[in-house]
């Protein structure tokens, strides 16, 4: 029965021979929870958590159908029968919750990121046309290899059918191999697989026919495709739409999962996991164009991360189901909470990309900065109640303190959190105050709500010192006192105007004239402050200690910042370290050549030089607290890092008390 609040979202949907219980889809996405190409217990637990949370359909991550399809060192493979047991384990884990399970069939073509031993493989494509993102020059496939590849798709589908899955999905999106055959700018063949549209569609048509030949109508067969690759050399949107219509009319597909972008170039790849600079549901108009032309169900992707947004898309008839990937990474219980009308309890994704796709690109299992339990279900999937109820004092209401307090209280402890500022959230509030990062502030609201629901007693505008701790006599003290801006030791002549990034974010404006921002860390702080100052009308020079601005951020988020810097006309100077300043110049040293770099006619210098731990209370209590009082520091109090480490350490400490 559909939810009263979300009647469309919780209505069942027929997809070929399969019915899913609601319209929420966890799409195929690489998890880095694979060993030797096979499913692990970690991956089983990951998908089980989302099934338990109420998702209607899980599409497992891309699985290579052929040995040449190993585009990363941790890709899932379906190229031989060794994959069957792992797929079967996932199916058995999700079935008790009524969740349907599909698997993606994949070959990257020329889109190869890495290999297990670091050497460059021989990449394949319809023609020897290189890509712009990974700078891979592929080998043109022979007809014999094309025939072998088509059969490989069919055999991989057979294996997924043997494992008991409910459907398969061919990945033709994001510039991968089937898209490369479709794209006339990549497919330069002069045989029956190139030239005309029908010839370029032939490979994908043969792949789907091979799959149907193995499965018949017993499993659902779908297609993931980019409606527009949003790149000069990408698959033309009209060809993508024509392919959808033709395959629908032929009866080869039971549904279409529609997205945007391509892996082949930097700007196009940003749409694979769009950052918060893209609007909620921004891809839906592209999806709607496909839905108008086909008869099979159509899935919509593109930053649909709340049930009310999903309901609007479905109610408007723009799609039949919604892909809610990061929403489910951030809160696996989202479907269940939405169906029960508990929308305010949903932990909303903020599209920071730090621990999900950011972990994938770094080769680590995916997680979430707000919900570090994701990817760690085997360890933190269920919280055991504390054997003995303890009085816990948490000092600091930033992300580390909030998470520690919430988890400790949920486990049954008596927890009081103290924050000296009027508001909770710490540096998250600063991040959310910068242009283009407004959603980031949602992390503070989500963590605060989590603590309140757990029963944490919250006291603001209160500074805690050692005497206050002694007076309280807690069983455990968690210090999450954070960090403060670092002012490096530099040579200063005269009386130059010096500010730190926090002062600028909090509203202090430098005098008119050129502003130099000195950025040591290469994260959101320096770049964000530079754009903010440009918006205020200043001429800004961003001087970074690294090779490029925002080099410490995940690529798609980094690209969004670089676009903002370019459009704000911020001048960039790289590979410099701050040396000194006087009343009209800032002095740097090139980090490689050691030569001086001088910025002249400067009105002010803004320091984004990292942070220093606020750990005085931690040091004092560690030295003098009675033996029966546990004292522990977490987050920036231990070492200035990011919100991801802060929340993770909060989880770990809250779970251990």
Task: Go through 26-63 and write b for each residue having 16 or more CB atoms within 10 A of its CB, e for each that does not.
Answer: bbbbbbbbbeebbbbebbbbbbbbbbbbbbbbbbbbbb
At residue 9, φ and ψ (nearest 5 deg) are -65, -35
Coil, helix or strand at residue 346: coil
Nearest residue to 246 via CA among 238, 234, 236: 238
Cα 396 to Cα 321: distance, rounded to the nearest angstrom: 42
Cα 267 to Cα 159: distance, rounded to the nearest angstrom: 36
CA distances to 17, 225, 294, 641 from 249, rounded to whole Å, are 17, 16, 8, 54
How crowded is residue 1: how many other Cβ atoms within 10 Å of its Cβ? 8
Helix (H) or strand (E) holding 63: strand 57-64
Instruction: Report yes or no: 366 and 357 within 8 Å, Cβ to Cβ.
Output: yes
Cα 394 to Cα 345: distance, rounded to the nearest angstrom: 23
Nearest residue to 406 via CA among 369, 450, 442: 450
Can you read off the two tokens belonging to residue 344? 């305010």
Cα 233 to Cα 310: distance, rounded to the nearest angstrom: 31
Can you read off the two tokens belonging to residue 435? 């242009």
CA distances to 15, 23, 57 from 323, rounded to whole Å, are 15, 9, 9
Coil, helix or strand at residue 338: helix
Tell the residue number behind the tokens 């043109």, with chain if given.
140
Can you read off the two tokens belonging to residue 408? 């400790």
Instruction: Report yes or no: 187 and 132 within 8 Å, Cβ to Cβ.
Output: no
CA distances to 72, 425, 502, 607 from 88, rounded to whole Å, are 23, 43, 52, 55
Coil, helix or strand at residue 156: helix
According to DSSP, residue 119 is labeled P
132 exposure class (CB count in 10 Å sphere: 0-12, 13-18, 19+): middle
Can you read off the two tokens belonging to residue 86? 């792992």
Cα 196 to Cα 362: distance, rounded to the nearest angstrom: 40
According to DSSP, residue 384 is labeled P
Beta bridge partners of 414: 391
- Cα-Cα-Cα-Cα torsion 445, 449, 452, 456, nearest 10 degrees, comes to -60
Coil, helix or strand at residue 523: coil
Task: Give catalytic residues, as residue numbers.
Answer: 176
Nearest residue to 332 via CA among 359, 366, 299, 300: 366
Q: Which region, left, alpha or beta, applies to residue 98 given φ > 0 means left and ψ of -120 to 50 means alpha?
A: left
């Amino acid at each position: 029965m559909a939810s009263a609040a979300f009647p469309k979202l919780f209505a069942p949907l027929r997809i070929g021979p399969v019915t899913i219980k609601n319209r929420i889809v966890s799409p195929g996405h690489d998890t880095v929870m694979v060993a030797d190409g096979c499913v692990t217990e970690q991956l089983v637990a990951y998908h089980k958590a989302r099934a338990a949370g109420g998702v209607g359909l899980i599409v497992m991550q891309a699985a290579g159908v052929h040995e040449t399809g190993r585009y990363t060192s941790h890709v899932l493979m379906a190229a031989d029968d060794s994959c069957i047991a792992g797929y079967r384990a996932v199916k058995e884990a999700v079935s008790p919750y009524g969740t349907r399970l599909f698997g993606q069939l994949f070959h990257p073509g020329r889109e190869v990121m890495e290999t297990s031993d670091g050497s460059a493989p021989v990449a394949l494509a319809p023609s020897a046309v290189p890509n712009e993102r990974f700078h891979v020059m592929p080998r043109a496939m022979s007809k014999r290899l094309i025939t072998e590849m088509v059969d490989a798709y069919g055999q991989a589908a057979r294996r997924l059918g043997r494992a008991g899955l409910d459907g398969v999905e061919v990945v033709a999106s994001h510039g991968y191999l089937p898209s490369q055959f479709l794209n006339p700018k990549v497919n330069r063949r002069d045989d029956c697989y190139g030239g005309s549209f029908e010839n370029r569609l032939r490979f994908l048509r043969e792949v789907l026919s091979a799959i149907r030949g193995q499965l018949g109508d017993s499993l659902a067969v779908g297609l993931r495709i980019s409606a527009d690759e949003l790149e000069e050399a990408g698959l033309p949107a009209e060809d993508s739409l024509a392919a959808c219509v033709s395959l629908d009319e032929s009866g080869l597909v039971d549904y279409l999962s529609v997205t945007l972008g391509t892996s082949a170039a930097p700007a196009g790849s940003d749409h694979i996991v769009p950052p918060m600079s893209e609007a909620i549901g921004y891809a839906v108009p592209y999806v709607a164009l496909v839905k108008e032309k086909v008869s099979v169900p159509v899935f919509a992707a593109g930053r649909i991360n709340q049930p009310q947004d999903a309901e609007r898309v479905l109610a408007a008839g723009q799609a039949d189901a919604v892909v809610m990937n990061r929403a489910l990474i951030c809160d696996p219980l989202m479907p269940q909470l939405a169906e029960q009308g508990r929308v305010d309890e949903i932990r909303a994704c903020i599209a920071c990309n730090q621990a999900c796709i950011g972990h994938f690109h770094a080769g680590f299992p995916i997680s979430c900065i707000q919900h570090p339990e994701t990817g760690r279900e085997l360890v933190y999937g269920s919280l055991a109640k504390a054997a003995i109820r303890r009085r816990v004092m948490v000092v600091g209401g930033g992300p580390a303190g909030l998470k520690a307090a919430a988890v400790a209280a949920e486990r049954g402890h008596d927890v009081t959190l103290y924050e000296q500022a009027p508001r909770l959230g710490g540096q998250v509030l600063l991040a959310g105050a910068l242009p283009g990062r407004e959603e980031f502030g949602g992390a503070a609201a989500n963590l605060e709500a989590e603590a309140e629901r757990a029963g944490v007693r919250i006291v603001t505008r209160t500074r805690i010192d050692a005497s206050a701790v002694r007076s309280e006599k807690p069983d455990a003290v968690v210090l999450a006192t954070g960090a403060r801006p670092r002012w490096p030791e530099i040579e200063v002549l005269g009386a130059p105007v010096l500010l730190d990034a926090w002062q600028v974010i909090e509203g202090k404006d430098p005098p008119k004239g050129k502003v130099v921002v000195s950025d040591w860390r290469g994260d959101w702080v320096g770049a964000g402050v530079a754009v903010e100052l440009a918006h205020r009308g200043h001429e800004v020079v961003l001087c970074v200690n690294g090779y490029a601005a925002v080099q410490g951020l995940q690529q798609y988020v980094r690209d969004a910042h670089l676009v903002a810097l370019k459009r704000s006309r911020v001048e960039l100077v790289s590979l410099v370290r701050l040396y000194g300043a006087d009343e009209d110049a800032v002095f740097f040293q090139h980090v490689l050549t050691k030569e001086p770099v001088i910025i002249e006619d400067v009105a002010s210098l803004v320091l984004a030089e990292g942070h220093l731990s606020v750990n005085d209370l931690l040091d004092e209590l560690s030295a003098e607290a009675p033996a029966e009082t546990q004292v522990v520091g977490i987050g920036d109090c231990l070492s200035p890092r990011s919100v991801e480490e802060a929340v993770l350490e909060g989880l770990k400490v809250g779970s251990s008390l």
